[in-house]
Every structure is written in C-alpha cells, then in structure tokens.
Structure 1
C-alpha cells in the first residue's frame, strides 16, 4: 500500500481540519459550536483551502458528504479515528468494529490513509498533568500496541492504513511511547502521523522524529505553538485546558516552531497532505484565522 494517495510528485497538498470553529471557552473543543456542515465547508474553501479533513457526519451517507464536497469544490484529506480504549478495559472488540466502519467510509471516499490516536477526556490523568509522561507504564503501552495492531488489521482489510498520532493528554503522548508503537508494528500495517505542536509540547525533537520515520508519513498535522507557554505550564503545574487558555496554540507562522525546518525533513518527493490544525485561534475571528493559515501555508510550502 502506498504511503500517500496519488498526487503531484514532490508537491504537498494543503488541507485544513477546521477545529478553530469548535474551540470552546474552557480550552477544549465543542463540535456543536461550528457552523452547520455545508456552511463550514464553504468557509474552508473561501478561506483558501482545496482540501479538508474527511469527516462524514453521523446522520449523513458517504454519498451525501461527497456530493457536498464536490459542490463546494473541496477534496477530502485523511480523517481521524479515536481509539477510546487503553487495550485492557474490555471495550477492545467494539473499538475494532468501529475502526473497520470508519475505514469503510474512507475507502468509499477514495482514501487510503487515516489518522489514529487515543482518546482524551477532561478527567484523564494526563489531561491534569499534560506533556509530562504522567503515570508512564510500559505494560499499558504494550496493551495499547496490541490493540492498535488489531485496529490496523481491520482497517487495512478495508484498504485504509492507519497512522499513529501521539497526542498530549493521552496514553501515547511522548516520543518514546510513539516510537515504541511504531517499532513494534510494520509500516505496511501502521504509518506515522506527526503533529508538530503536540510533539513539541511533549518535548520531542520533532524534526529528528519526522526524519527518522519519514518514509512512513503520508500526512502531517501542521500546528504551531508557543513553547514558552508550554514551559510555563509545566513549571506552574497547569492542566491541559489552562495551558491552552494561556495562549499555547496559534496559527502557523505565528508561533515559536520552525515549521518549515520540520517539514523539510520529509522526502523531496513527499506529495501527501500538510493539514493545518489550530485548536484555539490566536486570531479571534475563526474565518480570518483560516484565511491567515492558508495564506502562510501557500506562501511557505508552495
């Protein structure tokens, strides 16, 4: 299976996951805050993006979703599956079944890749103690890896490969934990979806991490942040939400990450997606946040 869907060799595709419209006042995400789906997709296109993260609404068919994308003029980019199990809580079979269903939707959309991360709830220990490898447990990582292997088997059977997404606040948070999972499973079964912001917040050398697994990366979540806020949060014991509310996330190019240097670690032939995510916009107007994100991305990577 190819690491990326066919595109123009060496020219990445720029996409948006429009989560800035979902940012809530408590430093979390609330999908109900976003405009209705057709309007949201239209705003993404008007802001300057040609691709959007694939996410079929629960009450829509894949055909309806594809028709709206076609009408607006957007192409789907790989979506995301959340594994809400630690591999030993008894829900593993249900999680695998859900993963297979999401993979079938992606296959119907012509996608061959999808993101895969662990769930994150407000009451989870690592949300209270983010980016610190809190309560690290190799046996838990082993159980999660086994479950991810089962999820991967179910997805690959549908023609869609999952790609591991280490995420602050979850049980696969750090570079060490991410590498453990990636090294345990073959690239035919599991790729790598780096998120520049989450990896940096968790203390990773993001450029080296990307370079080491570059051939397994079909898309990247491009997220900028203020590392100074992350450091202050660790020093003062802030939780995930307080760190976010203190100004952690910003539009690409407005923060403290060397995003171009990180992306330059990908192969020169990379033609996958660079997917912008702004979990909480620094520019107050969500549409203007998306416009500025598109402008900077096209100027920097095209």
Structure 2
C-alpha cells in the first residue's frame, strides 16, 4: 500500500450519527436503520460495518442492506469483563451468539475489544496506562482465549482491538495478548486513532502483525489535543469535546504513512470511524470521509 492505491475495501461504521453532547456515543440518536443505511450509500460508501439492530432479524437486516445497495464489513464484539469479575461465562455466551449471527451474514471475521464505562478508571485517566497491572492483562488474555474458542466454533475469528479507556489500551498490552495467542485463533484489529492517542507507534504495530490483520479501523485525530488533555488531566469525554477526533484527512495523523505498513497485497477492510464529527452535520461528515478515503486509497477500479 506504499503508493496509496490498494485492493482494500472501504466501509463506514456510522457512529458520527451517534455522537452525543457529552463526548460519548448514544445509539438512540442515530436515524432508523433503513434511513441510516440509505444515507451511508448516498454519502459515497458501498459497505457498512455489520451490526444487526436489536429489533431486527438477520433476514430483515440483510433485506435492508440489499435495498440500500450495501455490502457488509466485519462487525465488533465487546467483552464486558476483566476476566476476574465473575461475568466470564455470560461474556463467552454472548460472544458465541454474536459470532453465530455474523456467520449467518456470511462473515468470518469480527473485532473484539473490552468495554468501557463513563466512570471507568482509564476513561477518567485516558491514554496513560493508568493502573497498569500485568496480572489483569493475563486474566483478560485467558478470557479472550475462551472467547476465541467460542467464536471459532461458530466459524468466526475475533481480532483484538486495543482501545483507549479499556484494560487493553497500550502497545505493550496489545502485544502481550497477541503474543499469547496464535494468529489462527486471534487476529489483530488496529485502530489508528486509539493507538496513536495511547502513544503507540501505530505503523510499527501494523508492520509487526501485518499478516494477522483482516481489517483496520481508520480514525484521524489531533495528537496536539491529546497532549493538552494529558497535561491538564482531562478525562476521555473532555478530550473528545476539545476536538480530538476528525474525519480522515482533517486531523494530524499521517494515515497514508501508517496504512502503508500493510502488505502490498492487503485486500481486507479499511473501516472509517469518526467518533465525533469535526464537520458538524453527520451526513456531510460521512461524505467528506468517503471522498478522502476513495481519493486516497481506492484503486482505479473502485470497488
């Protein structure tokens, strides 16, 4: 991908429609599924991240996708346990159910990250490896191993997604989990914005684990805002409200350089995420993202 063009496929996780006034995400703010899918297509995307609404069957969701003319990119599972809180069995069962749903949609890959709440320690002290604990990482890794087994039994491989505000946040923590489990059981889902905010060398991580990356979350951000937030002791939400996130090409990350570390033959997904739009209107945010992504990464025969 060093020349910018790629056979990768481009998709959107439409969370800019969910950005709330307090610097968080509120799914209830998004348009109804049929309208949302139509807007994504009109904005210039041909694919959307898989996420079946709770009130729809898989069959009805697929029908809405077909009506909108969209295909699916891999979705995302949230692990709501730190591996030692007694919730492990429920988390594994939920992961298996989501993998089964993904398999019904013809998917073989899914992202996997840890949960975060507004009062979580690392949400209050983001991107600082707050309260780092090797034994906790080991417990999380054991739980992720169980989740891998449950998901693989359904024909779907999870990919680790380090995320600011969670117990797998840093370069070191991500590598610890990835080194503990083989690529056949656990892929790697880097998020350019979250890893950069946490101080990782994102390009180096991508290069080191390139062969186990089926898709990437493409997020631009302003590291100057992240640095100010650390200096002033801002929490996650305050940092977001200060202008951390931006549409691809509008922030401070060298996204072409970072993603240039993917293999030249990479044909996975580049999934755009704009947690809080820099362009106020969510639809215009999606349009800007589509224009920049296709202009920067699409091969001449745009998929």
Which TM class, normalised by the smaller chain length?
over 0.9
1:6: which partner in 2? Answer: none
2:108: which partner in 1? Answer: 112
Q: Unpaired segments of 5 or more residues in structure 2?
A: 1-5, 299-303
Instruction: Find 2:45's aligned residue among 37, 49, 68.
Output: 49
Distance across 1 between alignment mates of 2:177 and 2:228: 29
For normalisation by structure 1, the TM-score amounts to 0.96
Cα deviations across residues 195-248 of structure 1 (Å, max 9, x unaligned)?
A: 000000000000001000000000000000000000000000000000000000
Distance across 1 between alignment mates of 2:59 and 2:272: 25
Q: 1:267 Cα shift?
A: 0.6
1:222: which partner in 2? Answer: 218
Q: Unpaired segments of 5 or more residues in structure 1?
A: 1-9
Q: 1:112 Cα shift?
A: 0.5
Matched position secondary structure for 1:162: strand
Could you say what the CA RMSD is over the residues aligned between the two structures, in angstroms? 0.5
Q: 1:58 Cα shift?
A: 1.1
1:205: which partner in 2? Answer: 201
Matched position secondary structure for 1:186: coil
Matched position secondary structure for 1:114: strand
Instruction: Find 2:140's aligned residue among 138, 144, 150.
Output: 144
Distance across 1 between alignment mates of 2:63 and 2:116: 32
Distance across 2 between alignment mates of 1:175 and 1:188: 21
Instruction: Find 1:157's aligned residue among 147, 153, 178.
Output: 153
Matched position secondary structure for 1:52: strand
1:69: which partner in 2? Answer: 65
What does residue range 1-302 of structure 1 map to in structure 2 within 5 Å? 11-302=7-298
> In the comparison of the two structures, how many residue pairs are matched?
293
Cα deviations across residues 152-171 of structure 1 (Å, max 9, x unaligned)?
A: 00001111000000000000
Q: 1:258 Cα shift?
A: 0.5
For normalisation by structure 2, the TM-score amounts to 0.96
Q: 1:60 Cα shift?
A: 1.1
Q: 1:59 Cα shift?
A: 1.7
Cα deviations across residues 46-70 of structure 1 (Å, max 9, x unaligned)?
A: 0000110000111211111111101
